[in-house]
């Protein structure tokens, strides 16, 4: 599984970035900002750059995942004590973050920042995840009420109004086939993907917002058997990956060696972060990334048309990878890093258990033990939903 700090470190000091900048996708809706025609001083600015797109998850709920970008426009430290997310039309509160939760969800780049605070002239991101039981409960527009202090003064302002996009209509086949695949760092709060917001081509983007690192378990619940330093010890290594839809090949890279398991490779150039990989152009500005493929296994070339279910390559450990896995994501641009991550649903799979936590997952790998799991509610068969974090799924053969 990737670790965010190392991927971010990969970008430090780079003057240029690969890929083209995506078009402006601002989700801000000035018409629903609560300022009206009255000028108000707001010491913190807040905006949502990308309109949130709800997705049906494998737990039967609708998930809304997005970022609230904050900037402290003052010379004093701001401390946030509460954030209310509310329906901008009905004014009904749909989520409340207290000081402790804000401390966990507000991310700033200052290494020694106090939780829940923004320093003078400092920017931060609040990573939000809302859940709804029914489609008719989804707000059409969201706004955000912030409370706290700036210096010695009280803070109370409403900002960051955004329209909620329609539920995703993207439905694809699974990129893998067979039993016991575990959705590592998946939707919606696993920080290694959803918080991988990067400064690319002059703007912040979160290409990995809905990315999954797919690994596979053996019948005892282990992701590898034998030497943890050998790629061939991992259950998923060498497994075939398939086109999730009819598409054209936007990029195909091969010939890079596997990265040795156990740690992320140091000093990796940005253009090699995805290792051997394939990017499919799915049409309508949607792209699928298959990353970290096995050396000399890629079966397609740029510009080639592929059909749904066609073999693309085999799972490896190339690029910014600490162990063999398939990194899969959908974005709105061809660049795997300089695009906006989009939710999607998989056509069909079955699941009865999930991993208990990311921490337990990581520790099981260190201890070379089966991964701790727990049952999930509902029938085993799931149709047209997104597998959530650490769900263990069987894909159609």
Gap between the Cα atoms of 119 and 362, Å rounded: 33
pLDDT at 21: 31
pLDDT at 340 over 80: yes
Chain mean pLDDT for the chain: 91
Task: Return the ∠ at Cα 161 (arms to 157 and 167), rounded to 5°.
Answer: 145
Quick one: which of 207, 275, 286 has its CA closest to 245?
286
User: At the top level of CATH, which class does the domain 24-163 belong to?
Assistant: mainly beta
- Residue by residue, DSSP assigns 317-359 as -BSS-SSS-EEEEEESSS-SSSS-B---EEEEEEEEEEES-HH
pLDDT tens-digit series, residues 373-391 = 999 999 999 999 999 999 9
The domain spans of the chain are: 24-163, 171-395
How long is the chain? 397
Q: For residues 54 and 62, is the Cβ–Cβ distance under 8 A?
A: yes
Average pLDDT, stretch 136-157?
97
pLDDT at 11 over 80: no
Tokens of 82: 């509460």
pLDDT at 19: 32
pLDDT tens-digit series, residues 27-70 = 555 445 554 567 888 999 999 999 999 999 999 999 999 999 99
Q: For residues 315 and 261, is the Cβ–Cβ distance under 8 A?
A: no
Q: For residues 146 and 157, is the Cβ–Cβ distance under 8 A?
A: yes
The reply to whether CATH 3.40.50.200 applies to domain 171-395 is no
pLDDT at 12 over 50: no
| Cα distance between the two ends of the chain | 25
pLDDT at 38: 74
DSSP state of 270: G
pLDDT at 140 over 50: yes
pLDDT at 190: 94
Q: For residues 291 and 319, is the Cβ–Cβ distance under 8 A?
A: yes
Quick one: which of 123, 86, 125 has its CA closest to 102?
125
pLDDT at 242 over 60: yes
Average pLDDT, stretch 256-277?
95
- Count of alpha carbons within 13 angstroms of residue 322, beta-carbon side: 15
pLDDT tens-digit series, residues 59-106 = 999 999 999 999 999 999 999 999 999 999 999 999 999 999 999 999
pLDDT at 39: 82
- Count of alpha carbons within 13 angstroms of residue 368, beta-carbon side: 8
pTM here is 0.91
Average pLDDT, stretch 283-292?
98
pLDDT at 170 over 80: yes
Average pLDDT, stretch 337-363?
97
Band (219; pLDDT cuts 50, 70, 90): very high
pLDDT at 151 over 90: yes
Question: Which is higher by pLDDT, 190 or 33?
Answer: 190
Tokens of 285: 């500005």
């Amino acid at each position: 599984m990737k670790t965010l700090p190392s991927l971010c470190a990969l970008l430090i000091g780079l003057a240029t970035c690969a890929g083209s900048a995506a078009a402006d996708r601002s989700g801000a809706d000035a018409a629903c900002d609560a300022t009206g025609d009255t000028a108000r001083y707001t010491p913190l600015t807040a905006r949502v750059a990308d309109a949130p797109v709800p997705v049906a998850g494998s737990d039967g709920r609708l998930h809304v995942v997005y970022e609230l970008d904050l900037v402290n426009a003052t010379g004093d430290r701001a401390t946030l004590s509460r954030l209310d997310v509310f329906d901008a039309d009905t004014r009904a509160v749909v989520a409340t973050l207290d000081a402790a939760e804000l401390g966990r969800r507000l991310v700033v780049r200052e290494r020694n920042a106090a939780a829940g605070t923004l320093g003078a002239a400092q920017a931060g991101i609040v990573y939000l995840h809302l859940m709804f039981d029914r489609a008719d409960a989804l707000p059409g527009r969201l706004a955000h009420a912030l409370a706290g202090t700036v210096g010695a003064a009280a803070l109370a302002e409403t900002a960051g109004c955004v329209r909620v996009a329609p539920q995703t209509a993207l439905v694809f086949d699974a990129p893998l086939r067979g039993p016991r695949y575990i959705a590592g760092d998946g939707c919606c709060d696993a920080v290694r993907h959803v918080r991988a917001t990067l400064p690319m081509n002059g703007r912040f983007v979160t290409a990995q917002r809905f990315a999954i690192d797919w690994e596979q378990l053996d019948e005892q619940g282990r992701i590898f058997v034998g030497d943890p330093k050998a790629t061939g010890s991992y259950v998923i290594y060498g497994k075939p990956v398939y086109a999730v839809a009819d598409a054209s090949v936007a990029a195909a890279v091969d010939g890079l060696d596997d990265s040795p398991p156990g740690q992320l490779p140091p000093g990796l150039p940005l253009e090699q972060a995805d290792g051997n990989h394939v990017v499919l152009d799915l049409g309508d500005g949607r792209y699928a990334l298959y990353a970290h493929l096995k050396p000399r296994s890629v079966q397609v070339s740029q510009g080639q048309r592929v059909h749904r279910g066609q073999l693309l390559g085999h799972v490896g450990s190339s690029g910014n990878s600490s162990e063999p896995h398939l990194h899969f994501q959908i974005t709105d641009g061809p660049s795997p890093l300089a695009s906006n991550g989009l939710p999607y649903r998989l056509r069909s799979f079955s699941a009865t258990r999930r991993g208990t936590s990311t921490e337990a997952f990581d520790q099981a790998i260190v201890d070379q033990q089966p991964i701790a799991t727990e049952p999930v509610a509902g029938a085993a068969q799931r149709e047209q939903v997104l597998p959530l974090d650490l769900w263990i799924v069987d894909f159609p053969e």
